Structure 1
């Protein structure tokens, strides 16, 4: 007994010293100047409607409380009008004014004269510090402020007070921007107030509580969800829908009988307010009992954690104010097809075997008037619906689009594969399809599919479209999808094998280039309504992000802001694209970054980072803020005198692990004659999927001096048969159709699973390896890392494993764990690839005389 107590005490002492070491280690790194603290990303917050003014936020690693205000009328430093601190809401007011709010204070800034006015809402004229919301209406003709005492103050553009509305609970500006809808208390009543023009009118008053207010996408109906007390029983309550017709200024009370207070009501607009489909959802919490029973035929394992949802459905038709209950006894899921008489129905659990994340469904078209079901067969979870609900398209199990006429049930299978998302024209006479080669048009009446010759070689996507999610809680792609080709349409063309984009204005068949990226990345853009001008952020390998203003037809844009002017290193970063082929003959690329200060004739160590295809973005700006995965900063490694190599990896017939080994070693073969790389000092690093591949390669290759693997899967067999707590599903969908892409179940191809399993060859790892993970990782559970560590330890391999309490798959930005890991990764690489010594936490495992 005493011996056991002594052992336990020793264990506690060891744990204490380990934790003390970690604290001291973190304190040491805190004392080191962090270059990233002075760098920032740039995010465009607001652009005025006329394109003259831009507000952009400097996003630092630890804060985003600084914004710059720019004019597009000038370039360079002259474009900077001024700076705002701790302001987070921005609105443009008429006459070139900017309304900014933050930390309870609001300021109105005349951007032409430079005059700033601190806004005061109190009656005695003193400055108020309790402003909670701000905004504009009528295209900036008016602005409003809400204060913490529940008062909305409405002003004209000259700051004249027009209206004060008290006891406000919440509000919204209409989609047209001309009306302010307000829910407020008045005595014992709750009211809906409409502020329009210069007048506030009470549209509805009730003794109940209005729990929420929403506007339909068309703006034609305001939906109120009201909680009412039961008669004769003060403890009971229910809810009802109240509809306000914004065009007729009329109230409508759909008769839906008693709706429970705890039932969530989701409303889906049909045909711009012609009808509303109401879905009632009641949550049934997961049971907690003596035994938790799991059945083999259960298609809803998500309910084990999330609980289940019982749903019922109604359709409210505006004509005659009719409410009809939609039957749900045969099918649990009912989807709007933007038609008050036709619905898509299926049982979501029926075909769920968890071999795919979003399983196919056996769909039926339901005719409400006839009470009849039309069998549509097996369909993928992707549906696009027309503007008037007369047609919809879905993908069948052969991955072909099928066009359905709702009234006739006539189905037409479109013959071409590789048609991606589809968008109906407003008149439903045409469907436009994105694809990896051009934009395609299907003529519904003629039944012809033609390419539109936008770009026959590259991927074309529609940017300006009108989409409404018809089943938002599912994750399925069921949408009303419209593109209005009678007005200008913004398209993007993505170059194959890259993220480089060209933005085009497509107007009645005529194409004009608005923005083109060649040796740079366009990371954000905003255009005016006519697409005649644009504001966007552009960056490149050798230049930090900059904000550009460009007018269509002009070859060059105007740079109105350059970020991180202190950065002189990016100008001298050198990168080379390496071409190679794997053993299957697939042409691939790798990005090779040179050490800062590279001198020909010297040899430099190299760090190889792996994931999947990494060559698509050769023009990324290497900011000190770019450290994903955790602890991997290309820029820092280049400054420390390393080559950094990012080779492409694609899955081949041999399987996910062997394919990675093939691609990585083939990529290294392409560098074998490089005079600057020290081939004897090359390390491999990866995180998540890259961590799995690092584990696998470590058991098969002799090309690396050391390895670093973060949060990777080490045992495919165990992982395949595990339950994933992030998706609430068994994990085998990830292997059969997902990232691991094994194309077969474990039972169908046990040999391939075994051959590509890192743990099967843990005894063959022949170089020191650093493992790390967060103990709260639910995506790749932390004990996958522990298992690989145990395997390495049993086989007397040099391994150090880092387990970070409280951290998940991606570490918290700015946390001690993130800083600790970054420093240890640098230590590890320096120790093994540069020969740096006297790093105690490494040498505790690696004896000095062992090298």
Structure 2
């Protein structure tokens, strides 16, 4: 059947009868010399640093630089780089394994390698046909020690002394290999293929999980395989963790059979249900279906844990104690992470000890020491430490504004806290607090040499290097960066604070060598090394200076109506001439001034790239916005009005009649609201943005698998109240309710698979603006989400936005998709 439809073209990927896809003004030329330097690996003693130069044309280069001689080795396309010794690396080049001697630059290549792992001076290689080989490195040559065919799975112990592998001939045969003497023992045959193996900390046991959800324990000393049989045969494992004292913590979910035929065709939603995540995401655990047990290897006893609450058990690296957490009791979706109550659970007698009734934002405010002796939680910005053995609590009450907690893995009785721009050492024996630094109050502190382990509930951060903290500071007032080492209580300056941004910090094991990159808005990243008290340059940018040395920036200070100090960053046009007027584009998204020392390269992969605009004679302005009690839209309007007034006063070359505004995501929402309230701007662009607060507030997010109350009451929109508590606040900050007031031509865009900010928000605003006959075009990108990832579509979006500003701010009529947009109708035949 032939059907003809006449439809308004919203998406730039529909077929235009006027061939609009060929009428985009594409005059952007990007020099092939642009690249950016990143450092990511240092040898153990600090002799070599591995860096990566990333370019827009994807011709990326690996540089391996000697920190003493500045010798530089340039390589292409290497991946999985590791240092084998201080002067040699191993890596992959597509399917080839590479051994490179950095002193002689001689290479050894093995083809058809799928993966490798370093085991001291032995390398375990597996090729694409399933052959496993152990090779020894001797004087730059590889000597094969062992070769095993038909390997379908292998795993190596944490101490790199043992290896397990499975071969497939007639069945799945499991073998144990002692890497030290290369002796191999066949353990047993498995009924099905291995899905996962994990080793105990002492290397004496492994558990084996097969693809058909059977669980086995292998005693590597006795070479005995034993199945761990659960009381539910339809188990789906979630966590299997070796605990201290040879115990295994097992978490699994019972798979429910479909017993009611209507489940296939109807969903039942109940307002008493606090597991709405399960409606969208079947990886979310329903507490009713969850089971926990602890297997005692010595006694071969499987101990099921009694559930007396709607919550979960969490392993905290303690042999006899778990953390019992009720995540349902206070769950009402007004916080992204629900408030929780916590108890200590004794595995042996299944007794519980109350810890805290209600804790908010546990992912930032809950932690435990690496060996499980302490649980820490933060209430009212005060950290508390509970000893899980003595059940005594130490509260740190004499410090204000407590922030990051870092454990000392060398001394379990010590911890570090950042508070009021300084670092404090906490004795967990007596609660003594010792101040270790003496920075000013406007400093943001980052401890760099920490290990991080996160769950959806806890944050574990710890240091392993004795008495040494590597510290980066950022001055919140002027954005100055500094680098320090704190060792044995003494603070040493590595890099004096300056306006340059410090990034990509690497260090050797004893901190005698520390490398880092320095950059600024007009300075490409430069690799520097601090070694034995001296700082020098290892690598400089190879970008021609004429591509960036003309960049000019000015910091604009202003205040909102509540007298809150704010800042904006103004970038000048490349061909700036005093006395001439230039259009200005304002980009908005909350706080942006902290990026004033970032070196940005031209690219068309993002929807807005300010270097390309200043190269084309625009001013570009990045002002900060702040949310007051009036709400996010009204606050943004106030901040932007003040920012624009200040920047026009301080720079007369800006043409006040040629102002544009752009924002994505939250910045897109701010843009939507601002253009409903002011005629200050002559063109606007809004990407993946909210337009209807009430629709969004009461929606179920497919991206987060939950209602979005939290986003408004305690999240980014920061309304601070529910709709029922202050309906006027929601109404007053909702752009769609003021669509009839829009006078600024608006270009909007979204991806048709965006469920972060639902793409219907863009269509709703479109239909509102159409109702009032406003100048508006909306772009709906097929197969894209909250960001445009396909290079072709990303370029299309960038160019259309550029065309939009050029048309309305510069009078460039060459983009026919804009100039003929009022005729943008077409017939489509299906």
Separation (CA, whole Å) in 2 of partners of 1:464 and 1:67: 24
1:348-427 to structure 2, matched below 5 A, reads 348-375=327-354, 376-380=356-360, 381=362, 382-396=365-379, 398-415=380-397, 416-426=399-409, 427=411
Deviates more, 1:608-617 or 1:341-350: 341-350
> 1:839 pairs with 815, 822, 826, which one?
815
Distance 2:715 2:395 in 1: 27
Match 2:173 to one of 190, 196, 203? 190
Residue aligned with 1:359, SS: coil
In structure 1, which of residues 256, 280, 302 is the aligned counterpart of residue 277 of structure 2? 302
* Cα deviation, residue 29, structure 1: 6.3
* Conservation of the 8 A alpha-carbon contact between 1:386 and 1:392: yes
CA RMSD of aligned residues (A): 3.2
Aligned CA distance change for structure 1 residues 626 and 844 (closer, same or farther; 3 Å): closer
- The yes-or-no answer on 1:275 pairing with 2:247 is yes
Structure 1 residues 61, 259: closer, same or farther in 2, change over 3 A? farther
Whole-angstrom distance in 2 between the partners of 1:16 and 1:598: 36
Find the counterpart in structure 1 of residue 547 from structure 2.
569
Q: CA deviation at 1:736?
A: 0.5
In structure 2, which of residues 711, 715, 726 is the aligned counterpart of residue 749 of structure 1? Answer: 726
Total equivalences in the alignment:
805
Q: Equivalent residue for 1:637?
A: 613
Distance 1:24 1:71 in 2: 56
Q: TM-score, normalised by structure 2?
A: 0.89
1:354-409: CA deviation from partner (whole Å, max 9, x where unpaired): 1000011122222333432233311232422224433211234x453332232343
Q: Is the 8 A contact 1:502 1:516 kept in 2?
A: yes
Deviations 1:247-293 (A, max 9, x none): x787685855466475215123434x553322123455999433311
* Contact 1:36–1:625 (8 Å) recurs in 2: no
Q: Does the C-alpha gap of structure 1 residues 43 and 321 become closer, same or farther in structure 2, counting only changes over 3 Å? A: farther
Instruction: Return the structure number with greater relative CO, CA threshold 8 A, min gap 6.
Output: 2
Q: Kindly tell me: are residues 270 and 763 of structure 1, through their superposed partners in 2, closer, same or farther at Cα, counting changes over 3 Å? A: same
Q: Could you report, residue by residue, the CA deviation over 1:431-487 in whole angstroms, capped at 9, with x for unpaired residues?
A: 322335212233333233343325352233333345555xx4xx22254x5445744
Is residue 2:41 matched to residue 1:69? no
In structure 2, relative to structure 1, the CA distance for the partners of 1:290 and 1:213 (3 Å cut) is: closer
C-alpha separation in 2, matches of 1:498 and 1:209: 62
Q: Which moved more, 1:201-210 or 1:575-584?
A: 201-210
Residue by residue over 1:496-538, the C-alpha shift from the partner in whole angstroms, topping out at 9 and shown as x without a partner, is: 2576543432222122234556232233222111111123333
Counterpart mapping for 1:604-615 below 5 A: 604-615=582-593
Aligned pairs (5 A) from 1:191-270: 191-202=174-185, 204-209=187-192, 211-215=194-198, 218=201, 220=203, 223-227=206-210, 239-244=214-219, 253=226, 255-257=228-230, 260=233, 262-270=235-243
Q: Give the deviation of 1:681 after TM superposition.
A: 0.6
User: Given the alignment of the two structures, is residue 560 of structure 1 paired with residue 544 of structure 2, yes or no?
Assistant: no
TM-score computed with the length of structure 1 as normaliser:
0.87
Q: For residues 477 and 431 of structure 1, what CA distance do their matches in structure 2 show? A: 16
**1:451 to 2:423 alignment:** no
| Matched position secondary structure for 1:557 | strand
Do 1:777 and 1:809's aligned partners in 2 also have CA atoms closer than 8 Å? yes
- 1:456/1:190 Cα in 2 relative to 1: closer, same or farther (>3 Å)? farther
Q: How much has 1:844 moved relative to structure 2?
A: 2.6
Residues 117-128 of structure 1 aligned to structure 2 (within 5 Å) = 117-119=108-110, 128=111
**Distance in 2 (alpha carbons) for counterparts of 1:275 and 1:504:** 42
| Alignment partners' CA distance in 2, 1:570 and 1:355 | 47
Answer yes or no: is 1:787 the counterpart of 2:764.
yes
Match of 2:737 among 747, 750, 760: 760
CA distance in 2, matches of 1:394, 1:679: 52
Residue equivalent to 2:518: 538
1:725 and 2:702 correspond: yes
1:315 to 280, 290, 294: 294
Query: 698, 704, 708: which one pairs with 2:681?
Result: 704
Q: Does 1:617 align with 2:608?
A: no
Distance in 2 (CA, whole Å) between partners of 1:347 and 1:16 is 47
Partner Cα distance (1:412, 1:21) in 2: 70
SS at match of 1:818: helix
Deviates more, 1:331-340 or 1:273-282: 273-282
Contact residue 316 and residue 372 of structure 2 kept, 8 A:
yes
Question: Using the alignment, how far apart are the partners of 2:17 and 2:49 within structure 1?
Answer: 45
2:828 aligned residue: none
C-alpha spacing 1:711/1:226, structure 2 compared with 1 (3 Å): closer
Separation (CA, whole Å) in 2 of partners of 1:559 and 1:813: 36
How far apart are residue 214 of structure 1 and its match? Answer: 4.4
Q: What is the Cα deviation at residue 180 of structure 1? A: 4.7
- Note the residue ranges of structure 2 that are not aligned, 5 or more in a row: 824-830
Contact 2:26–2:799 (CA<8 Å) still a contact in 1?
A: no
